[in-house]
A and B are shown apart, each in its own frame.
Chain A
């Protein structure tokens, strides 16, 4: 079945470092990808999205890269801060409607 593969590792970084969180997706028909951040006890919070006709998109301190050839998505966070500590999910959507398929998440721990 379709899946967004994101094994749940924990990424530990120091404050001020750049963080890179990776995600592999399996559905080559997916054309919309999103990164969400989920803090403990809260709902997923939209960070940034990218459509399949792009390979890079930048936001405030975040960059998403999409490599459709190898079906890989990454989230780069610049100058990581303790407030960035959370679980990060990638999600994909195919054509037609917005059923989001979520990966399993990566926990980011930022130490001061």
Chain B
């Protein structure tokens, strides 16, 4: 158990819908990262937050957004969902943001029908 929690574990929804994935980092960690894992793209970095502020952006679609709240938990919002958005979404956390080990949560499996 990494100490990072994610909810829900599974999510099934329809195209065009909007969902919110939630992540609680390890106690004391200030950075949260979101990754998408799909069969054809592998693990792809989406976005990083540090102490409430966006720190880095990766291959995140405009339909996706994230935020980190004062209690340091983070949410990833996915809207106008498409079939191709079906994937595992992982959250990771680290103490700070510079070369600290990232610890991953168990992931949320999103299925878009």
Are A and B genuine complex partners? yes
If the complex has contacts A97-B55, A100-B45, A101-B45, are A43 and B2 also in contact, measured as CB distance less than 8 A? yes
From the candidates B42, B45, B97, B102, name the one contacting A105 in the complex (CB within 8 A). B42
Interface centre among A34, A43, A101, A103 (most CB of B within 10 A): A43
Interface of A is mostly: strand
Is the interface on chain A under 10, 10 to 19, 20 to 34, or 35 or more residues? 20 to 34
Interface residues in B61-113 (C-beta closer than 8 Å to A): 90, 92, 94, 97-107
Interface residues of A (CB under 8 A from B): 32, 34, 36, 42-46, 49, 51, 89, 91, 93, 97-105
Interface residues of B (CB under 8 A from A): 2, 4, 31, 33, 35, 42-45, 48, 55-56, 58, 90, 92, 94, 97-107
